[in-house]
Amino acid sequence: MAEQKKNAQAQDGVNDDITELKSLTTLRKRAISDDEIVSKSANGFRLANGETGVMLRNDGQSFYMLTTPSGQAQNGQWNTLRPFGFNLTSGRAALLNGVDIAGGAMISHNAGISTATTGPAPLIDGQVYDAAAVHTNFTSGNVTTAMLMGSRVVAGREDYGLLSYRDWQGNWNELQVRPNADLSVGQLTKRNQDGWFWAAGVRNTDDKKGHITNGLHIQGYSDLFADVFHYERIGQHHFMGLHVANGRADGWYEFRNDGSAFTNGAWHNSSDIRMKTDITQIDGALDKLAHIGGYTYLKQGLPEAGVIAQEVEEILPQSVTRTELKLNDGSVLKDARSININGVVALLVEALKEERSLREAERENFERRLAALEKGNERA
């Protein structure tokens, strides 16, 4: 065996004597190899510049890049950090102390990006457990906004996926994705140009006599609530429904596809005198009423009874408004007349009062004439 040499020299960075190279304890200049340099040690290479060393290690199961404690760059063992490693069987890499990527990153592996947190078993009832989240942060000065994606478990109560945003004021604003694809939000704003909110999910009801699509449930205090939904009575009609309830009383409202509206209560119009000015009593009500007829007819194919808006407009224009309406056949009435039926009721009230006054006057006249006749008979 060649004699060990403490300070063998490499000329111009090249040492051709491999025997001499094997005997070195210190190489003062570069070593260049045209073939592999093989180490049979688990720790195969060490960079010892500065206070902390970097070691390459192959323990037979995984490859690691390890660091030494500070001040032990040349001779120290590795410390507790595990900056980089990969499994020799699967090739799966591990960055065990976090990673900063300044230039961006693209993930193409089918497994995607994941985080993992292990909780106790069993979980403590009522305790909140958050999974390790995927974060994005933006910092300006001493203010940071953040967006995270994760999940949360409240043991024994609920669990949900979590999208959360921390605003400039430091407030966390959460979107919670719950079982059955339920979404819990603080406020939902649509910014698309059409502005539609779509509710789908038709299901059978009433022993398959109807179809219902639930649209919106508004929960009030305690058992107070309101529901907005669409309902189809198969073979009859369909409607938008409004259900207002408190667990003991139910208000139901139907707005049907034929333009009709129904309720199990009553429709009310405000009529408080404090809301009104320039109050004038209708005069000549009987004469006006003579110009209005009561009719039966078909309105867009459906039988109905009522009055004609144009007739009411002639004698009581305050009760008639005009609007654009689309008819069932697709045609459009640009100035369709609509009646505030309260006006017709007011006309009827005044007409009845006028009729009563006439009857009273006739009765008084008849009584005077009868008294005169009776007095004449007594004289005879």
State the DSSP code for 133. Answer: P
* pLDDT value of residue 18: 55
Q: Assess whether 329 and 378 both reside in one domain.
A: yes
**pLDDT tier at 1 (50, 70, 90 boundaries)?**
very low
Residue span of the structural domain in which 149 resides:
128-184
Please tell me the least confidently modeled range out of 11-25, 90-104, 111-125, 268-282: 11-25
In this structure, is residue 224 part of a structural domain? yes
Task: State the chain's mean pLDDT as an integer.
Answer: 90
Question: What is the tens place of the pLDDT at every residue in 71-87?
Answer: 999 999 999 998 999 99
In this structure, is residue 288 part of a structural domain? yes
* pLDDT value of residue 2: 43
The model's pTM: 0.62
In this structure, is residue 72 part of a structural domain? yes
DSSP structure string for 239-265: EEEEEEE-SS-EEEEEEETTS-EEESS
In this structure, is residue 198 part of a structural domain? no
Q: Assess whether 168 and 208 both reside in one domain.
A: no
In this structure, is residue 114 part of a structural domain? no
In this structure, is residue 29 part of a structural domain? no
Please work out, in degrees rounded to the nearest 5, the angle formed at the alpha carbon of residue 164 by the alpha carbons of 158 and 168: 145
Of 244, 242, 207, the closest CA to residue 224 belongs to: 244
Domain count, the chain: 4
Which ranges in 79-155 belong to alpha helices (H)? none
DSSP structure string for 142-174: TEEEEEEEEEEEETTTEEEEEEEEE-TTS-EEE
Q: Assess whether 288 and 377 both reside in one domain.
A: yes
